[in-house]
Every structure is written in structure tokens, then in C-alpha cells.
Amino acid sequence: MAEYAHPEVLVSTEWVAAHAKDPNVRIAEVDVDTKAYEEGHVPGAIGWAWNTQLCDTVRRDILSQQQFEELMSASGVTPETTLVIYGDNNNWFAAWAFWQAKIYGHSDVRLMNGGRKKWLAEGRELSTDVPSVQRTTYRAKLADLSLRAFLPQVQEASARHAAALVDVRSPQEFTGEILAPPGLPETCQRGGHIPGARNIPWGKACNDDGTFKSAEELRKLYGSEGVDGSKPVIAYCRIGERSSHTWFVLKYLLGFDKATNYDGSWTEWGNLVGAPVERGAAAGAARG
């Protein structure tokens, strides 16, 4: 992992097996399918549900600072805790949790490379016990919104090409052939993509075993679409979790400091009245 810009944010399944019960380490599983944790998880891991514990359940938003503090406190996390997150779908929502932890300034947060899939495939120990944790009083930092893109920034990026837009959805979602991943509910009124966006599906950053590709492979992948870190880059998908995975790759594995996640994503843009929409393949070559 040493070739990555910030290798300290990744741990292997071997590392987790050896350190899961260290007193200063807290392991958390976050899955797309919240039943996966109950089936069996890394011994000692707590489970967070993305749809109730990692978002505001009333308005569409990430956790507030207070809500984040409550989640960390209830999870026995202190600002000094090494927080290791993993989950299914090659860490989709684990990356979503990682992104929020960074927004609220948690210094030592890491992803388990390969996620739940690799842990299972390696035949590692699983537990159905929910660990009891000692509550803490966690104080988060003020939200670092430089990690998050909002609609006006995305509109500016699309209109003036001030930032690269990376659409990490599948090619069929990108072109507008489908309005949601196959088999999932449609959450937008229109299909297509934000004008100027390049389509680099999130999964291209992963190997078959769920681990991240090498830094060299990742540089080639994004560089071939004109995304080389020379200007800000905004990742988006449908609701912001796949793009948090790509944001993690761009910011921490490739070291693109001005990478942001547009969690409004296509569910926001594809429902906006009057928003420009491009359909079909990406128009033209990557803009410089």
C-alpha cells in the first residue's frame, strides 16, 4: 500500500484480524444491505445502518455535528480511537461513513481493503455477537465542507469547467438508458448526466477481490479521462455513496487534495427543474 499517497488510511484483512480487539481500535461494519451484519461480522465489530444512523432521517442530509457526536459516543469512539470501517459492495457505504468521519475531523479513520467480501472469501472468523461498548463523550470538529460539493459548485463546474466532474455510475445510468441501477427503485425524473461529466464507474478502481487497484493503475484510469489532480474534481453518483468510494480513491490513494463528493448526486440534479442534462455518451474529449 506504500505507493498510495496516504497509505495509512487502508488496512488489510490480516491487520484487522490481528488488531480488532485492541483497546484503541474500533471496527465498524456498514453495509448496503443492513441485514448482512446480523448474519455474521468481524468479531468485535459494531454495525452502523447507513439509512438510519449515517444520515439525517428527516431532511435529506448527512449527519449533523451533533448527530455524528452521538453516533461516535454511543459507539465508544473517542477522538483518539483508530476507527476502521468496512462493508459490503467493496466498501460503498463504508466509504460514505469514512467521508463523514473526515468531514467531522476524526483523525485516524481507515478502510479495510477488500471489505466484507474479502473477509468472507478468506474464510476468516465471523461473529453474531453484538459487542457491548462503553459510551464516550465525543466532541467532533466543525464540519470541513471542503470535502463536500454542493449544487452551486457543481453548476459552476458544469458551466465553466472549473472542476472535473466524474460520474461514477454505470454506463447505462450515465447515458440515460436506465434511471437507477438495475433492480433498484428509480429516484429521478430524468436520465442522463451532468453536462461535461466523464463516466468512470466506481468499480473500475477495484480488483476482483474487492481491494483497490495499484496507484499506477488508478492514475492511468483517471488520467485517461483527463482527471489528473491538476484542478479540482467532483465525484457524483446517484445518492452519494458510490461517489464517496471514488472520492476516497482520488483524495487518499492518488492524493488529489481538491477532490470533493457531491452527495446530492443524480437524485438532486436529475430532479431539478430546468437543469441542463446531457444524454448518451460523454460529449467530446476531457476538457483541460
Partner 1 sequence: MKAEEYQEQRFEVAGWPVNVSTYRLGNQWHAKADNVSPGAALCRTTGATRDEAEKKALQRAEELLGKTRRHPV
Binding mask 52-91 for partner 1 (x = CB under 8 A): ------------------------------------xxx-
The Cα–Cα gap between 262 and 259 comes to 10
220 Cα distance to chain centroid: 21
29, 173, 263, 268: which one binds partner 1 (CB under 8 A): 173
* Residue of 170, 165, 157 whose CA lies nearest to 235: 165
Report d(CA 161, CA 163) in Å as an integer. 5
Give 8 or 122: the residue with its C-beta nearer to partner 1.
122
Minimum distance from residue 189 beta carbon to partner 1 (Å)? 12
Residues 16, 221, 179, 241: is their CA dihedral positive or negative?
positive
Handedness of CA 201, 29, 8, 114 (dihedral sign): negative
Active site residue 237: yes
Give the number of other CB atoms < 10 A from CB of residue 63. Answer: 22
Q: Return the number of the residue (123 or 284) whose C-beta is nearest partner 1.
A: 123
Q: How far is the CB of 29 from partner 1 (least distance, A)?
A: 14
Instruction: Determine if 195 is a binding residue for partner 1 (CB under 8 A).
Output: no
- Grid coordinates representing 117 are 467480501
Tell me if 167 contacts partner 1 by CB under 8 A: no
One of 55, 188, 206, 237 is an active-site residue; which one? Answer: 237
Residues 207-226 that bind partner 1 (CB under 8 A): none
> Residues touching partner 1: how many (CB under 8 A)?
42
Determine the interface stretch with partner 1 among 8-16, 53-61, 63-71, 174-182 (rule: CB under 8 A): 174-182
Residue choice 125, 144, 217, 257 for contact with partner 1 (CB under 8 A): 125
CA distance 173 to 183: 12
Q: Residue 74 in contact with residue 134, Cβ under 8 Å? A: no
Identity of the residue numbered 205: A
Rounded Cα distance, 61 and 59, in Å? 6
Distance between CA atoms of residues 101 and 68, nearest Å: 8
Counting contacts by CB under 8 A, is residue 272 touching partner 1? no
Contact 29, 116 (CB under 8 A): yes
User: Does the footprint of partner 1 cover residue 251 (CB under 8 A)?
Assistant: no
CB of 186 to partner 1, least distance (A): 8
Task: Work out whether 128 is an interface residue with partner 1 (CB under 8 A).
Answer: yes
List the catalytic residues: 237
Chain contacts with partner 1 (rule: CB under 8 A) = 31-33, 35-36, 39-40, 88-90, 117, 120-121, 123-128, 169-173, 175-184, 186, 191, 201-203, 242, 279-280
